[in-house]
Amino acid sequence: MASKKLLSRRRFLQGVTAATAASMLPCRLLVPGTAQAAGFDQNEFQVFRNACPRNCYDTCSIKTYVKDGVIQFIEGAPESTYTDGGLCVKGYSYTRRPYSPDRIKYPMVQDGRRTGKWRRVSWDEAMDRIAGKIMELKERDGSLLGLGMTKYSGNFGITNYGVEGLMSSLGYTTRFVGTPCWPAGIDAQNYDLGNMWCNDPEDMVKARYVIIWGANPAWCSVHSMKYIMEAKRRGAKILVIDPVFTQTAAKGDVFWQPKTASDGALALGMARHILDKGLVDRAFVENNAQGFEEFAAYLRENVTVEWAAEQSGIPAEEIREVAEEFAQADPATIWIGYGMQRHTNGGASVRSIDALVAMTGNVGKEGGGARYGHLQTWGFNYNAFIQKQPEGSVGFTGPAAKGEFDLTEGRQASYSDRTVNINKTAQAILDTKDPAIRMLWVSCKNPFAQDFDRPKLEKAFDTLEMVVSVEQFFTETVANSDIVLPVTTLFEEWTVNASYWHYWLSINEQAIKPLHEAKSNLEIGAALSRKMNELAPGSCTLPTEIDTREWTAKEFNQGIYDLFGINDWTDLKNGPVKAKLASSAAWHDMKFGTPSGKYEFRSDLCAEHGHKALPEFKKGRESYDKFRLLTPHTKFGIHSQFVNLDWMKEYNKEPFVYMHPKAAAGKGINDLDMVRVFNKVGEQKARVKLTDNVTEDCLLIYEAWFGKGTTFNVQNLVDDESADMGAYKAGAPGVAIHDQFADIERA
């Protein structure tokens, strides 16, 4: 009867046997007309712990309800005060992800890149081809530097560092290092404070004044919004500074819409006014900081509020009012978003904002802080990451940059991996010689949706002899690959996840068996190791059998147990735990990680690295086209992830270009017209939405990949210009994603 009919309509279960699906409805949608429906009964389910591994502030802890080996539904872990029983729109679509009909189900080989002529091969055949190519490169070049690996943040589960581990276990290879995300700001905070370390976001409720500067938590960190709203309810003023009237801005008390990339001037103008008004926290700058008097002298000589007003477009009167309110509120805090540092002056701007927070005595204070991010809870063993090269491996002998996670300290080797800038992927592939990058391994990353100057990237990929992608969906990167290997979703492997924002730690259990022929990154490594050792014993040091549960266990140590107050990693099966913090404030003990041990308004290290010692104003990039082009995140995805799912498309059907009505009138463009946005990099078509959320000189397109049947890609319009900082801590400078310009016309 009813249940059979229901079964037939659950198409998401294609690929799962009918017998399994028989009792899969989580609810009792169909109830007798006269009787009461039976209440929800948790005992009907097996409940597993999962954790969202995406590159997102929130890193949500998930409870997964499974029946007969099939995920029925998920929810946020109630144990975490941060997730508080909920997820986000992306998180709730996870129920669909493993069962998506678009998922890559088995290893496949493409006969000719971008032809779409894919055919299924066995894991053995796939590994045979890959291993054969690796052997050939070694033979030809005398090293494995012709093998490149590009990996970033597609899956932050700790065991996914097994991708790097696999590369090391083969020999010395070429690594794409750096991060497109946050490096300019990381360096800035390292110069000022000696590390990137932020207050517990939950303590924002204590703030009396909150500035959200170039961040959009209403979309990109939904669980942080409740703390901002609670601070507001308790009387704090919320100021949002952004070139776009964002959803977060709509929830604040005041919205400032300055000229893009004028953030440094704005912060310095406020600093000058605070100085003039005698509102500086003297105790802090005298006891806990170095170089404040020099900074004050710089402000007096070079900065006025009127100048800041002219640079930013925010009236001087406003700047004065906010500066005074901010300096007098106790505590006051600034959330420094990753958006505002994606500029050629981004690092300098972050330093100016740090200075504003520090001079008002809000660093090291609960409810205060210059909040950017932290890696305080990432003290894992990186057992998957650290692997030994085979005996006799030949590598690179020049100066190699270290990436974000440099764990090689103290390890002596005559060779190293060769490093190239991840933010110039296309150029690096084209330029690298002796040996050239001949083969590329891509995992946890979708370069064609994420790396810059996509037309150039296509040319660069065409020079590669073999591209292997490890993926869940047929992305554009897969289309530009020769072999694709199906990788597990979070529900199909063991791992552990920490956040770079909050202080909760979550285990990720294997909730269901891998569907189809998917393997985890670690298991793929083991499969390749098996093949390599079969063909040439000793050519790969990675174990040939890997159990992701065991490898997850190996990542834990006493330091983590002590930090989180647990006795064993299996305690996390009872729910996520929060770090036991001496204070919710970063730098609460005023022991800064800088060379002087103090907060450094004057950073000699920064000067040694080619920047100004003081947080001086730096001009932004000169315009190269008619409109400023912004390509920030959408709420429906994380970069290219989630947007392609059919469930998500129910609510987000197509991409748009957002444009101010006055600017559109000048171009004869009407609402919902199809338009062409173009610049020196390339062009992109989409329909237009007219809105005053953007200024007249701005075009906005949300970054995302819409999946099959579309060629939409904002990277057709974004060049690979570098930000000012990032090389110090991330291995390569950041990228000036928001320093882009373009023109527009009706298509």
Name the minimum Å distance from CB 319 to another protein. Answer: 10
Interacting residues with another protein between 617 and 646 (CB under 8 A): 635-636, 646
Residue 150 or residue 312: which is nearer to another protein going by CB?
Answer: 312
Pairing of strands 70-76, 61-67: antiparallel
Name the minimum Å distance from CB 634 to another protein. Answer: 11
Interacting residues with another protein between 141 and 200 (CB under 8 A): none
Candidates 36-44, 170-178, 326-334, 737-745; binding stretch for another protein (CB under 8 A)? 36-44
Element housing 49 (H / E): strand 46-51
Residue 323 or residue 466: which is nearer to another protein going by CB?
Answer: 323
Q: Pick from 5, 119, 411, 653 the residue near another protein by CB under 8 A.
A: 5
Quick check: 221 and 373 in contact, CB under 8 A? no
Candidates 44-52, 257-265, 285-293, 700-708; binding stretch for another protein (CB under 8 A)? 257-265
Which two tokens mark 347? 């690092």
Q: Pick from 218, 268, 444, 560 the residue near another protein by CB under 8 A.
A: 218
Pairing of strands 174-177, 656-659: unpaired
Could you tell me the maximum CA-CA distance found in the chain, to the nearest angstrom? 83
Interacting residues with another protein between 650 and 689 (CB under 8 A): 650-651, 689
Quick check: 628 and 744 in contact, CB under 8 A? no
Please tell me the distance from the alpha carbon of residue 645 to that of residue 230, in angstroms, as a whole number: 33
Element housing 467 (H / E): strand 466-471
**Three-state secondary structure call for residue 111:** coil
Residue 71 or residue 540: which is nearer to another protein going by CB?
Answer: 71
**Three-state secondary structure call for residue 745:** strand
Kindly calculate the radius of gyration of the chain based on its CA atoms and give it in whole angstroms: 26
Candidates 2-10, 180-188, 526-534, 617-625; binding stretch for another protein (CB under 8 A)? 2-10
Edge-to-edge strand list for the sheet holding 46-51: 46-51, 61-67, 70-76
Residue 250 or residue 413: which is nearer to another protein going by CB?
Answer: 250
Q: Is the dihedral of CA 680, 682, 687, 693 positive or negative?
A: negative
Interacting residues with another protein between 515 and 534 (CB under 8 A): none
Residue 439 or residue 690: which is nearer to another protein going by CB?
Answer: 690
Q: Pick from 256, 587, 706, 728 the residue near another protein by CB under 8 A.
A: 256
DSSP state of 143: S
Residue 11 or residue 433: which is nearer to another protein going by CB?
Answer: 11
Pairing of strands 332-336, 118-120: unpaired
Q: Pick from 15, 69, 315, 538 the residue near another protein by CB under 8 A.
A: 315
Residue 268 or residue 467: which is nearer to another protein going by CB?
Answer: 268
Quick check: 630 and 216 in contact, CB under 8 A? no
Which two tokens mark 619? 């001009």
Q: Pick from 250, 297, 607, 674 the residue near another protein by CB under 8 A.
A: 250
Contact mark string toward another protein, 694..713, x via CB under 8 A = -x------------------
Q: Pick from 21, 51, 77, 88 the residue near another protein by CB under 8 A.
A: 88
Provide the strand spans (E) within 304-456.
Answer: 332-336, 370-371, 418-421, 439-443
Residue 234 or residue 591: which is nearer to another protein going by CB?
Answer: 234
The verdict on 307 binding another protein (CB under 8 A) reads no
Quick check: 153 and 444 in contact, CB under 8 A? yes
Residue 212 or residue 437: which is nearer to another protein going by CB?
Answer: 212
